[in-house]
Amino acid sequence: MFLKNSQNTFIKKLLINNRGSKDKEGCDDTNDLILSYIKEYIMKKKRVKYLAIIN
């Protein structure tokens, strides 16, 4: 939702703090998948100068 609302906005620094919980097996594959799609979208649109993802 945030990325859709900021379509024409250039963001200088974007920090994503990933505090996702692990699933039953103790795996965070879902969080990693979502973060990879977000990163790909941001890089493709070139709307963020610095991107940091903290796990």
Judged against a pLDDT cut of 80, whether residue 12 lies above it is answered with: yes
Cα 8 from Cα 34, distance rounded (Å): 22
Cα 16 from Cα 42, distance rounded (Å): 12
Where helices occur in 1-55 by DSSP H, the ranges are 2-5, 29-45
Contact in structure between 30 and 49 (CB atoms under 8 Å): no
| Span 38-47, pLDDT tens digits | 888 777 877 7
Q: Average pLDDT for residues 5-17, to the nearest whole number?
A: 76
What is the domain partition of the chain in residue ranges?
A: 2-54
Contact in structure between 9 and 3 (CB atoms under 8 Å): no
Contact in structure between 39 and 51 (CB atoms under 8 Å): yes
Judged against a pLDDT cut of 70, whether residue 26 lies above it is answered with: no
